[in-house]
């Protein structure tokens, strides 16, 4: 390992990460109401002597961007993450041995505390830095209220690095790709109010039965997708039916039917293409009935993929080998997140490397402090490599 990188890592303070994580967890920040925690984060970055910018476009969910400016020209490496958490109550945060409990512990206030420590270390060697380190913390991430609104606006205004590490996700693999996802809602409406079965004429539309035809189509489509091409790292595309709702009494013709689920698609495909495919398949059923069949398709994220030989990927793999003593395999990010926004809307290579997601959105949610410290070591070594910080 390079002497300067080794010296940097020797200064890493795991207890400082734990303390900052505890302080972040103590500040409630449900999606849409993350101003207080953003204030805290901005203050910590300012204390480190960074160039700090606060974006107030979304008053309840502001963003903060900070830079460690190097002494030499070079690229900008961005460490990015959200500070909002799902609006599900959990008991007040506490520490029990190596584990830190609290809403947002692993998703993702713990990793954002690790970023503060990475930033502290790199700020101390900025005279050796070629380029700059960018830290970006934002809200409006967690659906359904959060759909990446604030991050999309930051990207649209050019607030993005040349390469981006989203500091959530696995810590034993490097996620360089992921499927896109959207949610669908198919509504079938009857001609009016529900009626008794004996009052219904032979031509009275029956939304539930039409819904069964739609569900059968979706089931067959899901089977096709499972039998389709297996994509590198991500597997096959998929379609899932999560809800089927119709009827309110056993002898009444229902007035409606509602089917809801998810569609996950290949990294190379886009939302508009998936929308057209839905409409085409529904059209075959629409031609058999005069009953309206309406589709609402809501995009979560398109998929993304960063090249295996990208400089960012190589820096992280080398850093992991140096600090952990093992190879860092490449993988897909099973969920959907913000790397796709950096890659698709921002046109930048983006990856996920976190502290593990096993307890994300769980109750209780917790994180291993040892894993946060390991994440900070890997990120520090990777950033040092990427930004040319060597002895």
Q: What pLDDT score does 5 carry?
A: 95
Closest CA to 361 of 202, 143, 60, 174: 143
Q: What pLDDT score does 191 carry?
A: 73
Q: What pLDDT score does 192 carry?
A: 76
Q: For residues 231-247, b (16+ Cβ closer than 10 Å) or e, as one string? A: bebbeebbbebeebebb
Q: What pLDDT score does 46 carry?
A: 97
- 330-332 and 238-246 strand pairing: unpaired
Burial class (CB in 10 A: 0-12, 13-18, 19+), 198: exposed
Segment holding 315, helix H or strand E: helix 311-324
Digit-by-digit pLDDT tens for the chain (391 residues) are 899 999 999 999 999 999 999 999 999 999 999 999 999 999 999 999 998 999 999 999 999 999 999 999 999 999 999 999 999 999 999 999 999 999 999 999 999 999 999 999 999 999 999 999 999 999 999 988 998 999 999 999 999 999 999 999 999 999 999 999 999 999 999 877 888 999 988 888 999 999 999 999 999 999 999 999 999 999 999 999 999 999 999 999 999 999 999 999 999 999 999 999 999 999 999 999 989 999 999 999 999 999 999 999 999 999 999 999 999 999 999 999 999 999 999 999 999 999 998 999 999 999 999 999 999 999 999 999 999 998 7
Closest CA to 356 of 339, 372, 378: 372
Q: For residues 74-85, b (16+ Cβ closer than 10 Å) or e, as one string? A: ebbbbbbbbbbb
How far apart CA 149 and CA 300 sit, in angstroms, is 11
φ and ψ at residue 277, rounded to 5 degrees: -65, -40
The answer to whether the beta carbons of residues 111 and 354 sit under 8 Å apart is yes
Q: What pLDDT score does 203 carry?
A: 85
Closest CA to 153 of 65, 28, 220, 72: 65
Structural domains of the chain ordered from first start? 3-178+303-386 (3.40.630.10), 180-301 (3.30.70.360)
The answer to whether the beta carbons of residues 349 and 307 sit under 8 Å apart is yes
> Is it true that the peptide bond before 108 is cis, omega within 30 degrees of 0?
yes
How far apart CA 370 and CA 373 sit, in angstroms, is 5
CA dihedral (333, 338, 339, 340) in degrees, to 10, reads: 90
Q: What pLDDT score does 315 carry?
A: 98
What pTM value is reported for the model? Answer: 0.94
Q: What pLDDT score does 201 carry?
A: 87
The answer to whether the beta carbons of residues 368 and 101 sit under 8 Å apart is no
């Amino acid at each position: 390992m390079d002497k300067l990188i080794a010296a940097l890592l020797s200064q890493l303070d795991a207890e400082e990460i734990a303390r900052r994580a505890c302080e972040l967890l103590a500040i409630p920040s449900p999606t849409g109401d993350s101003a207080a925690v953003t204030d805290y984060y901005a203050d910590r970055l300012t204390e480190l002597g960074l160039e700090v910018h606060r974006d107030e476009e979304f008053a309840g969910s502001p963003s903060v961007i900070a830079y460690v400016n190097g002494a030499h020209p070079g690229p900008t490496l961005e460490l990015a993450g959200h500070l909002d958490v799902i609006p599900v109550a959990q008991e007040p945060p506490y520490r029990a041995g190596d584990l830190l409990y609290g809403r947002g512990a692993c998703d993702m206030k713990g990793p954002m505390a690790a970023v503060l420590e990475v930033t502290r270390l790199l700020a101390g060697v900025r005279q050796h830095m070629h380029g700059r380190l960018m830290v970006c913390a934002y809200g409006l991430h967690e659906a359904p209220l959060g759909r990446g609104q604030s991050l999309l606006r930051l990207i649209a205004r050019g607030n993005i690095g040349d390469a981006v590490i989203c500091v959530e996700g696995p810590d034993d693999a490097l996620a360089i790709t992921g499927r896109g996802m959207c949610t669908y809602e198919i509504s079938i409406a009857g001609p009016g109010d529900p009626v008794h079965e004996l009052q219904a004429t032979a031509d009275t539309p029956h939304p539930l039965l039409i819904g069964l035809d739609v569900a059968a189509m979706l089931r067959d489509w899901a089977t096709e997708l499972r039998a389709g091409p297996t994509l590198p790292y991500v597997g096959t595309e998929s379609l899932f039916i999560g809800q089927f709702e119709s009827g309110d009494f056993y002898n009444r013709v229902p007035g409606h039917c509602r089917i809801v689920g998810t569609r996950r698609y290949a990294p190379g495909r886009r939302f508009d293409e998936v929308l057209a495919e839905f409409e085409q398949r529904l059209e075959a059923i629409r031609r058999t009935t005069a009953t309206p069949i309406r589709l609402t398709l809501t995009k979560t994220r398109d998929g993304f993929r960063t090249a295996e030989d990208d400089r960012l990927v190589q820096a992280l793999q080398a850093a992991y080998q140096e600090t952990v003593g093992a190879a860092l395999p490449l993988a897909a990010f099973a969920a959907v997140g913000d790397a796709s926004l950096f890659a698709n809307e921002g046109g930048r290579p983006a990856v996920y490397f976190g502290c593990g997601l096993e307890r994300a959105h769980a109750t209780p949610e917790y994180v291993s402090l040892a894993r946060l410290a390991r994440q900070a070591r890997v990120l520090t070594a990777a950033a040092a490599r990427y930004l040319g910080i060597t002895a």
